[in-house]
Structure 1
């Protein structure tokens, strides 16, 4: 028996309960991983609330790191005691242990501590595909990052700066502005005090930015479009405030804009893509292209509080659960 967070029906954070579940031995192609740290992300809130439907009852959580405890038949790439990480689902990482397909596991380098690695499996790999694939950031680009002081935002700001971009970021307080500026955001904007569209246009001398990375959704979508330069890219990788309302396709025409709703899982469909993404993330961390703010830690049983704090914008940087 292992302890795991389960949800019986979609709803508030208090729907999550710590229960005992039976895992059994790993089947062919599977590995049993004992978790040491578990990442907390907005996608977990989407699953818990029902925004991204799951068949109930269900586990929750999309990234974690730990140690291999048992290996199923046919697994040759991993050994007992090896440090590994995983992301991509199915949801269920909020648990002391989990069974996972070996071909979706990533070996962790010694240079990356568990508590840091637990924040990079999903957020780090997402930052990589957003910056290097969905829109390939170039030196001199203006980049707008929403929620610039959050776990995802801090990674995007730092990495984009390292690539030579001029980073603009929206935040909700002076303290978050200062944090964003310390982490690569040259032009932090307090959106509660200023019209970020007007400020972006002032900063870019009326041209707009080449790309907007928007994980907020409904509250920022249309204004994000206004911030774009001709042939600019609006990359909507999340919807913390809810899904954007439908809009007329013709709205893209005046500046020939691109709008996309990407997902990490479509960028790591093959084993080769998964490994390549992870290697670049770890290399970027090792070479100092970005640093990871010390994660806010919660016990596994405090998962509901972690969700409340994340949704209530009470956190900066990443959050993790410790089994």
Structure 2
């Protein structure tokens, strides 16, 4: 997996983790707050209703009318009046309101709110016990809307974050792409220098790659020069600079096998008579200078010095090849 994909996965995982954490904290906090509020409401409403019932006649019809009036004015799941023996005297219950809240969300939140209880008095005696439970299905709906709004705002924030991340990833990817292209250029013996990015870590990598490119270029240039010098030393006579026997014959064979005008020309053999006697009479240094001068003269017979080939067959024999030379009389005159 590429580094860019890993970076994208890390960003997406971080966004999801932030969303899940924010959602969990929001639901937990809201759940606790709603439970507290409804529990207080249950207790307060039960106490107020029980106090009102204690001040009225204890006629069942009167009590039932008061409970019905209270039940119709608010959102209640149930209001139950029981006597001291636990028998139900008056009861009002409402069906659960589901609305558009999914069942899985209701199961996830699962409010646990105890009903409010209060004692109804008949003078100095206890008449009964009142139990009141508020309807909190609307709390589910309110919390569900809050979750939807939070998810919407988080989606907008996530899209904005991904857009910013895309810009950042692109700013990282471009210098990396230039570094990869530079590495490929080095493998093709093309030593380029790339622009240094503003990011410190990427700038260090770019500086190292530029230094590597320059070092490899210098190293290969030096090695190429050494190889050229070695190749010249192997193919040329060290004293005179003329081609040695094998190198001259190889060059001559290549010229003869060609199809252009260079396949025609003239060959001349030059021999230094009594080389050993000259060495004894003039000395090696003087004879060496004479041989070097001889090779220079042979190379200057053709106006194009890169065309004339001069080879040393042995100690005293030299050979001259002049491609495209057809005037043998002029050549003979020059050699004399």
Q: Indicate the TM-score class for this superposition, using the shorter chain for normalisation.
A: under 0.3
TM-score (norm: length of structure 2): 0.15
Tell me which protein shows more helix as a share of its residues: 2
If each structure's strand is expressed as a fraction of its own residues, which one has the higher value? Answer: 1
State the TM-score, normalizing by the size of structure 1: 0.15
Higher relative contact order (CA 8 A, sep 6+): 1
